[in-house]
């Protein structure tokens, strides 16, 4: 007879770096959201060298939806909400979390993002969750 399991839900903390945010936005802008977003523009002045660095530095990107013609703003708070919703999605394509380890390889009990697992599909889902609170396209 196989093992029987009980399932519990637990809330975890995830550390997300500035570089993680830049990586997610870059992946989204370079292909993840291009099938529904015809243009992304920086609102105000550039806070970094590239538009993809705007969000991590507290700025705003305006995304132009090519399907419904609306403009939607993306900021850091919305992006972090999108990451949270992605992590809570039971049907997500990939686990993007990694357990942080100390110098000898022992778990710190802290989770971080593994942006190597954030491909165009995942970045698209995060951005859609961030601005629509749902997956609308794709």
pLDDT tens-digit readout, 23-53: 999 999 998 999 999 999 999 999 888 898 9
Q: How far apart are the C-alpha atoms of 104 and 76, rounded to whole Å?
A: 33
Q: What is the mean pLDDT of residues 6-14?
A: 85
Complete edge-to-edge strand list for the sheet that includes strand 37-43: 37-43, 60-65, 71-74
Give pLDDT, residue 7: 86
pLDDT tens-digit readout, 59-111: 999 999 999 999 999 999 999 999 999 999 999 998 999 987 777 777 777 89
Give pLDDT, residue 75: 98
Chain centre distance of CA 100: 19
Token code pair at residue 95: 């686990």
Q: Are 98 and 111 in contact (CB under 8 A)?
A: yes
Give pLDDT, residue 110: 84
Q: Which of 7, 13, 24 is nearest to 84 (CA)?
A: 13
Q: What is the pTM of this model?
A: 0.88
């Amino acid at each position: 007879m196989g093992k029987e399991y009980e399932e519990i839900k637990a809330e975890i903390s995830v550390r997300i770096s500035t570089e993680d945010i830049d990586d997610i936005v870059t992946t989204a802008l370079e292909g993840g959201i291009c099938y529904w977003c015809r243009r992304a523009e920086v609102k105000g002045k550039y806070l970094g060298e590239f538009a993809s660095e705007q969000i991590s530095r507290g700025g705003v990107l305006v995304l132009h939806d090519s399907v419904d013609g609306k403009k939607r703003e993306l900021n850091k708070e919305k992006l972090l909400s999108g990451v949270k919703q992605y992590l809570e999605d039971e049907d997500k394509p990939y686990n993007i979390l990694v357990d942080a380890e100390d110098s000898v390889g022992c778990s710190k009990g802290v989770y971080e993002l593994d942006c190597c697992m954030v491909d165009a599909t995942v970045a698209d889902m995060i951005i859609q969750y961030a601005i629509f609170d749902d997956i609308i396209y794709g």
